[in-house]
Amino acid sequence: MKLIIPFFSLFLAVSCIKADEKQESKESTPATAETPVLAEGEPHPALKDPSLAKEKAPETFEVVFETTKGEFEVKVNREWSPLGADRFYNLVKIGYFEDIAFFRVIEGFMAQFGIHGDPAVNKVWRDANINDDGKAVVSNTPGRITFAKTGAPNSRSVQFFINYGNNGNLDGMGFTPFGEVTKGMDVVKSIYSGYGEGAPRGRGPDQGMFQAQGNALLKKSFPEMDYIKSAKLK
**Is residue 199 one of the residues assigned to a domain?**
yes
In terms of pLDDT, which residue wins out, 24 or 162? Answer: 162
**Is residue 211 one of the residues assigned to a domain?**
yes
How many domains does the chain contain in total?
A: 1
In terms of pLDDT, which residue wins out, 205 or 12? Answer: 205
Q: How confident is the model at residue 42 (pLDDT cuts 50, 70, 90)?
A: confident
**Is residue 171 one of the residues assigned to a domain?**
yes
Instruction: Provide the pLDDT for residue 134.
Output: 86
Range of the domain at 166: 4-19+57-233
Q: How confident is the model at residue 21 (pLDDT cuts 50, 70, 90)?
A: very low
What average pLDDT does range 26-55 have in this prediction? 72
Instruction: Provide the pLDDT for residue 41.
Output: 72
What does the H/E/C string look like for the chain?
CCCHHHHHHHHHHHHCCCCCCCCCCCCCCCCCCCCCCCCCCCCCHHHCCHHHCCCCCCCEEEEEEEECCEEEEEEEECCCCHHHHHHHHHHHHCCCCCCEEEEEEECCCEEEECCCCCHHHHHHHCCCCECCCCCCCCCCCCCEEEECCCCCCCCECCCEEEECCCCHHHHHHCCCCCEEEEECHHHHHCCCCCCCCECCCCCECCHHHHHHHCHHHHHHHCCCCCEEEEEEEC
Amino acid at 126: R
Among 6-15, 120-129, 181-190, the range scoring the smallest mean pLDDT is 6-15
**Is residue 24 one of the residues assigned to a domain?**
no
**Is residue 50 one of the residues assigned to a domain?**
no
**Is residue 31 one of the residues assigned to a domain?**
no
**Is residue 75 one of the residues assigned to a domain?**
yes
Contact partners, residue 55, CB within 8 Å, separation at least 6: 28, 30, 31, 86, 89, 90, 93
**Is residue 127 one of the residues assigned to a domain?**
yes
- pLDDT exceeds 90 at position 121: yes
- pLDDT exceeds 80 at position 7: no
CATH number at residue 209: 2.40.100.10
- pLDDT exceeds 50 at position 60: yes
pLDDT tens digits for range 61-96: 999 999 999 999 999 999 999 999 999 999 999 999
